[in-house]
Structure 1
Amino acid sequence: MKKSLIALMGWAVVGIASATLPPPSDEAKAKAAEAKNKTDWSNKVAAYQLCQVQDRVAANYLKSKGKPKPAIEVPPCSNPGPYVALQVATSTVGVADAKPVPAAGAKK
């Protein structure tokens, strides 16, 4: 009895876990895209700040050792600029574009 009850509960858990979720709505997709955009920008800002710190540390090290700047060509740090939100595409058909619906029984 206990084994069959445990097996039945196991199958119920498997059934619940294997259920599929409905596809996300357009609003959820837009929020996810905005979150991804903001995360990408944050990563660029972090890389820029790290580049600046590395340049300062290297300059201080070379200054303390009295060594000249090496002839290695290093690309400059690129500032990603301020955060710019995504432009959300809106529907092309608005209230002004809608065609009026004729009344029932009206002649054309």
Structure 2
Amino acid sequence: MKRSLLLCLSLMLAAAAHAKLPAPAPLSDEAKAKAAEAAARTAHSGKVEAYKLCRSMDKAAENHFKTAATMGKPVKSAQNAPACTDPGAFVYVPPKPVEAAEAHSPAATAVAPPSGTAPPAAPTPAK
């Protein structure tokens, strides 16, 4: 009984505390740029780790083929295995802002009204 009462109380307190939290502040441009660079670094480190794993697997396979051949066991060659690709050094090129990327079309000079039809002519006054 005490456990259920404590559980109920703690859930109510947690809900009340959660309801009073302020909304998170929007990220600044600098924070967004840092987050993008961190994401790019993480992606690159994943590629580097995959490359290192590929190289170690190639080395292990080479050792296996060599020892199996000396023992007289038939081995199948892994000639159709894809080659390991080195991702190279990390280079981060920040993306251009939308304005610098010339995403906006240039303003054209107005030579006609915005609508295709002309407004109706004013009625002539009766004599």
| TM-score for both structures, normalised by structure 2 | 0.57
Among 73, 85, 96, the alignment partner of 2:92 is 85
Report the Cα distance in structure 1 between the residues aligned to 2:77 and 2:27, rounded to whole angstroms. Answer: 53
Give, as a single letter, the amino acid of the residue that structure 2 aligns with 1:81. G
Q: Is the 8 A contact 1:45 1:79 kept in 2?
A: yes
Aligned alpha-carbon RMSD (Å): 2.5
Alignment of 1:1-108 (within 5 A): 10=13, 12-17=16-21, 19-66=22-69, 67-70=74-77, 72-89=79-96, 92=100
Report the Cα distance in structure 1 between the residues aligned to 2:78 and 2:16, rounded to whole angstroms. Answer: 68
The structure showing larger relative contact order (alpha-carbon pairs under 8 Å, at least 6 residues apart) is 1
Distance 1:22 1:64, change over 3 A: same
Q: Which consecutive unaligned segments of at least 5 residues does structure 2 have?
A: 1-8, 101-127
Q: Which consecutive unaligned segments of at least 5 residues does structure 1 have?
A: 1-5, 93-108
Report the Cα distance in structure 2 between the residues aligned to 1:14 and 1:41, rounded to whole angstroms. Answer: 37
Distance 1:49 1:23, change over 3 A: same
Q: Which runs of 4+ in 1 moved over 6 A?
A: none
Report the Cα distance in structure 2 between the residues aligned to 1:80 and 1:55, rounded to whole angstroms. Answer: 17
Give, as a single letter, the amino acid of the residue that structure 1 aligns with 2:49. A
What do the CA deviations read for 1:3-41 (whole angstroms, capped 9, x no partner)? xxx69x825413234x32021111111000000000000
Larger Rg: 2
Q: Is the 8 A contact 1:37 1:86 kept in 2?
A: no
Percent of residue pairs bearing the same amino acid type: 39
Distance 1:74 1:30, change over 3 A: same
